[in-house]
Amino acid sequence: MLSFRAITCSFAIVGSFYSSLALADTSQVDALKAKIQTRDRTLLTHVEPIYPKQAFEDALKGSVTMSFTVSTDGSITDIIILESIPKGVFDAASVTALKQWKYAAVEESIMDVKTKFDFAP
């Protein structure tokens, strides 16, 4: 089992290198959702990125900071990578995970929302 830290608004998960599913610490996910709810948006579905195999084998650490828009239907659009360390290594995994997030419907799109995933083997 591979343990890694992926922090989104300060919460960690433990996932399996061999699995496409990441299991999140429920209390930390609940804390994140509660924090987001105080900002007039409710996170319904949260998916963590899968640690890339080669990055794990090379014991690489890194992070990806992104901005995105929450559309009125709660879907994620307009993902922009603001910073990626090391460049390009964790980008695809981070974008793939973020695209699967789902918020409750909002009256107006919320633009320039930021999140960060940190990776450490």
- The ranges assigned to domains in the chain are 13-119
CB-CB contact of 29 with 35 (8 Å): no
Residue 15, pLDDT score: 32
Fold of the 13-119 domain: TolA/TonB C-terminal domain (3.30.2420)
- Tens-digit pLDDT profile for residues 57-96: 999 999 999 999 999 999 999 999 999 999 999 999 999 9
Question: When comparing pLDDT for 92 and 30, which is higher?
Answer: 92
Confidence of residue 35 (pLDDT cuts 50, 70, 90): low
Residue 64: HSE in the Cβ half-sphere, 13 Å Cα cutoff: 25
